[in-house]
């Protein structure tokens, strides 16, 4: 019988964990929801400009762009943090 070298033992340990993901399926679903909420917030923030630079458009200061969209982006980031910290085994 031949003795196994130390490098052979370390290689066999690393191959066992090759197919595993860092997070569980639930975590990835929550991350996807968070990304969609962030994307929605940025989409709601877009627009409101004027075609003519000499004309000021008041539409840039409406509720959707000043309050709703940034709030959605912050909620999306909070969802992402929760998805990272959530226990994947649950």
The answer to whether the CB of 50 falls within 8 A of the CB of 58 is: no
Residue pLDDT, tens place only, 23-74: 999 999 999 999 999 999 999 999 877 788 888 888 888 999 999 999 999 9
The predicted pLDDT at position 83 comes to: 96
Q: Quick one: how many helices (H) and strands (E) in the chain?
A: 4, 0
Q: Which residue has the higher pLDDT, 16 or 47?
A: 47
The predicted pLDDT at position 4 comes to: 58
| C-alpha closest to that of 23 among 82, 76, 78, 73 | 82
The predicted pLDDT at position 79 comes to: 98
The answer to whether the CB of 76 falls within 8 A of the CB of 41 is: yes
Please give the Cα distance from 90 to 88 (Å, whole number): 6
The predicted pLDDT at position 88 comes to: 84
Please give the Cα distance from 30 to 60 (Å, whole number): 32
Confirm whether pTM is higher than 0.95: no
């Amino acid at each position: 019988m031949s003795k196994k070298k130390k490098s052979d033992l370390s290689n066999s340990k690393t191959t066992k964990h090759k197919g595993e993901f860092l997070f569980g399926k639930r975590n990835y679903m929550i991350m996807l929801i968070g990304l969609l909420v962030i994307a929605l917030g940025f989409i709601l923030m877009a627009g409101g400009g004027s075609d003519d630079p000499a004309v000021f458009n008041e539409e840039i200061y409406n509720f959707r762009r000043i309050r709703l969209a940034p709030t959605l982006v912050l909620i999306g980031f909070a969802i992402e943090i929760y998805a990272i910290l959530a226990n994947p085994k649950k």
